Amino acid sequence: MTVNSAISGIDDRINEQTNYLVALDVDGTLVDHDGAMSDGVREAARAVVDAGHHVIIATGRSLGALLPIVEAIGLRRGYGVCSNGGVTIRLDPELANGYEVIDRVTFDPAPALTALRDRVPGARFAVEDAEGNFLATSRFQDASFGIEARGVDFHHLLAAQAVRVVVNSAEASTEEFADAISAAGLHGVTYAIGWSAWLDIAAAGVTKASALEVLRESLGVDPRLTVAVGDGSNDIEMLRWAGRGVAMGQAEDEVKAAADEVAASVYDDGAAVVLRSLV
């Protein structure tokens, strides 16, 4: 099913009188870096959902790690963007699993993996493939995968069709890691470096913003009525895309520079204040 046809099938169940599109990052925005969501953020998010706005979780997490957040804020119908824009889902309790994947953008990870293999000290690699599985080297597991990764050798990763590639190092400092990524000269992909020695790679041109724009157009929301809240480098395009882009208070300066305003930090329930302003 295409994104447009999925949306057209439920348009009549959406309250067109309230037409904000609210895109919310997860880690560092809705939950802190220990993965905890405060009661204040949960209640504010549920209030925006109940008010009938188009609330869309937009996260670097993969599908399995997105779904608990959707459940926590009571979002049963609508859409979700995960894997940094690589996967879009439609939520509907009438579906067998409560959701369906309506878009998945894949790419050949081999050039990026090959370029990075010998440049990042102690690198661990994981690939989310076209079927939603995770393949990883060096017993690499992370909560953002949403499922347990299957251990494979590096050459097996080269043959996969990827939605998301993750590179992590326990040996390199954040600065050393960033320098190694820069020196690798990645081409033909989109990537974002995390707050630690962590790299997410997606297909060229694929970001949270690119997936959200497809949904915005299909839902018919005025660009001026889009709101996005995030804290990471993978949120920069989304914050620039939104009519009202809000950076979290603990975000790096480059993220804040992409936003229209800066909220309080995740530890001060900054997202809750933004969400309450919409209801």
pLDDT digits (tens, 9 = 90+) for 129-172: 999 999 999 889 999 999 999 999 999 999 999 999 999 887 77
Q: How far apart are CA 18 and CA 15, in angstroms?
A: 6
Q: Position of tokens 């995770």?
A: 134
Pairing of strands 198-203, 150-151: unpaired
Chain mean position to CA 255? 15
Maximum Cα–Cα distance across the chain: 54
Q: Position of tokens 């670097």?
A: 60
pLDDT confidence tier of residue 14, bands split at 50, 70 and 90: very low
pLDDT digits (tens, 9 = 90+) for 94-115: 998 999 999 999 999 999 999 8
HSE-CB for 206 with a 13 A CA cutoff: 26
pLDDT confidence tier of residue 188, bands split at 50, 70 and 90: confident
User: What are the backbone angles phi and psi of residue 25, rounded to the nearest 5°?
Assistant: -65, 165
27 in the Ramachandran plot: left (φ > 0), alpha (ψ -120 to 50) or beta? beta
Q: How far apart are CA 204 and CA 165, in angstroms?
A: 12
The pLDDT score that the predictor gives to residue 18 is 54
HSE-CB for 246 with a 13 A CA cutoff: 25
pLDDT confidence tier of residue 11, bands split at 50, 70 and 90: very low
Tokens of 220: 């018919």
Is the separation of the CB atoms in 252 and 23 below 8 Å? no
